[in-house]
């Protein structure tokens, strides 16, 4: 009983101390920020941080739409979701004067299509999606998306694709060289037919399992995220991640300032804190993707700095972001996906 009281008092004191400097409510992905970094922020600023987590962009959007907007200060949507939230008027803006560390953002991530000039969001981590091949099974050329969509005999029937409409349809469009959010009948029919034809060579659809099937040998090739492929390699699979010549999907998670943030000042402090190279590097060392902040190299772990998954070859084709289609166009892509999986 006495111990309980002591604990309660300690908590009361702690929260009292924190209230003096205020609080910060973060809505974040699960397991995406190291606790030490949060503690460091609290130690530096005296701001107590509470973190709630989500497991997909869509569930975050749904929760905010269902009335949680106004309870959180910041959240961490991916590129296309930043645009959706901006279109829905769910984001606040900051000025360059407030965001004193804005200049730390790596130049190529400053003027991004989903937030031109960065007035609502700052980069958190970014990565890419393409495919990996088990080099014990197939030693040939893997520089084309044809490995997935028109596979060589050695890989037929041993391919896992992501169970994710966006990524499969975008990579398929890249392979055929047609734009995203197309409304051209011939192009969409070609995409539909190409996917149906490729499916006969696929063993399974799976996103969460995309690393495990490569490690276990259930699949000899598979669509995968670069960080996941690095982990598969670390777990002993002889896999090589490809940056195909047709292009690959790039995604970026961003910290956004939410509309009606209850602690706007503290949110700005937190975002500035995350733009410090040392702190950005701490996240990268934890999550194994890539930071969007310049000057993080001295703080990175050696293994992450040199991993082939995080360092595309100089001649790699550019990556593309997922585009947000309008409702009518999206319907067509939904139909193609249902058709593929029926």
Partner 1 sequence: MAGMTPAPKENGTGYSSLVAPLLLPTWAMIGIFLVLPVLLMAVYSFLTKEFRGGVIWDFTLAAYDQFFLNRGLFGDEPPTLEWTYITIFWRSIWQAAVATLICLIVGFPTAWFIATRPPKARAVWLFLVTIPYWVNLLIRTVSLKFLIRENGPLNESLMSIGLITDPLPLVNTNLAVQLGLFYSYLPFMVLPIYAAVERYNFALSEAAADLYASRWVTLREIVLPVVKPGIVAGCILVFVPSLGAFLAPDLLGGAKTFMIGSLIDEQFRGSQGNWPFGAAAAMILMTLVLIVLMIYARAQAKGEAR
In the complex, the residues that contact partner 1 under the rule CB under 8 A are: 56-59, 61-62, 65, 84, 163, 165-166, 185, 188-189, 192, 199, 202-206, 209, 216-218, 327, 330-339, 341-342
Q: Minimum CB separation from partner 1 for residue 230, in Å? A: 23
Q: Which is nearer to partner 1, 19 or 183 (CB)?
A: 183
**Nearer residue to partner 1 within complex by CB, 141 or 193:** 193
Q: What does DSSP say about strands 23-29 and 74-75: parallel, antiparallel, or unpaired?
A: parallel
Residue 96 and residue 110 in contact, taking contact as beta carbons nearer than 8 Å: no
Q: At how many degrees (to 10) do helices 165-176 and 327-341 cross?
A: 90
Bridge partner residues of 202 (DSSP): 159
Distance CA 194, CA 191 (A): 5
Q: How far is 266 from 73, CA to CA, in rounded Å?
A: 8
The nearest distance, CB 31 to partner 1, in angstroms, is 18
Select 202 or 243, whichever has its Cβ closest to partner 1.
202
What is the nearest approach in angstroms of partner 1 to the Cβ of residue 290? 24
Distance CA 308, CA 306 (A): 6
- CB closer to partner 1 out of 15 and 330: 330
Tokens of 41: 């922020």
Tokens 């772990």 -> residue: 301
Task: Give me the least distance between CB of 164 and partner 1, in Å please.
Answer: 8
**Measured from the CB of residue 217, what is the shortest distance to partner 1 in angstroms?**
6
Would you call 291 helix, strand, or coil by DSSP? strand
Nearer to partner 1, 283 or 336 (CB): 336
């Amino acid at each position: 009983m006495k111990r309980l009281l002591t604990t309660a008092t300690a908590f009361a004191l702690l929260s009292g101390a924190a209230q003096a400097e205020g609080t910060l409510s973060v809505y974040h992905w699960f397991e995406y920020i190291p606790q030490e970094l949060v503690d460091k922020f609290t130690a530096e600023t005296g701001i107590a941080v509470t973190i709630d987590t989500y497991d997909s962009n869509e569930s975050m959007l749904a929760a905010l739409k269902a009335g949680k907007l106004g309870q959180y200060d910041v959240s961490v949507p991916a590129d296309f979701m930043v645009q959706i939230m901006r279109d829905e008027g769910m984001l606040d803006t900051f000025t360059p004067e407030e965001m004193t560390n804005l200049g730390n953002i790596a130049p190529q991530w400053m003027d991004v299509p989903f937030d031109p000039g960065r007035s609502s969001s700052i980069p958190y981590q970014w990565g890419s999606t393409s495919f990996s091949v088990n080099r014990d099974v197939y030693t040939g050329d893997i520089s084309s998306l044809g490995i997935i969509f028109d596979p060589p005999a050695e890989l037929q029937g041993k391919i896992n694709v992501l169970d994710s409409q966006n990524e499969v349809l975008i990579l398929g469009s890249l392979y055929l060289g047609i734009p995203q959010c197309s409304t051209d009948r011939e192009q969409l029919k070609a995409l539909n037919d190409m996917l149906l034809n490729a499916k006969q060579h696929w063993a399974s659809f799976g996103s969460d399992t995309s690393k495990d099937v490569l490690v276990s040998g259930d699949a000899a090739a598979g669509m995968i995220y670069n960080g996941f492929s690095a982990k598969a390699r670390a777990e002993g699979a002889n896999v090589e991640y490809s940056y195909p010549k047709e292009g690959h999907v790039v995604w970026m998670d961003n910290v956004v300032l939410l509309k009606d943030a209850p602690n706007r000042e503290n949110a700005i402090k937190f975002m500035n804190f995350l733009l410090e190279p040392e702190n950005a590097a701490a996240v990268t060392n934890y999550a194994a993707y890539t930071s969007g902040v310049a000057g993080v190299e001295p703080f990175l772990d050696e293994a992450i700095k040199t991993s082939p998954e995080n360092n595309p070859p100089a001649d790699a084709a550019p990556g593309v972001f997922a585009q947000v289609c309008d409702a009518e166009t999206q319907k067509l892509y939904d139909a193609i996906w249902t058709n593929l999986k029926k």
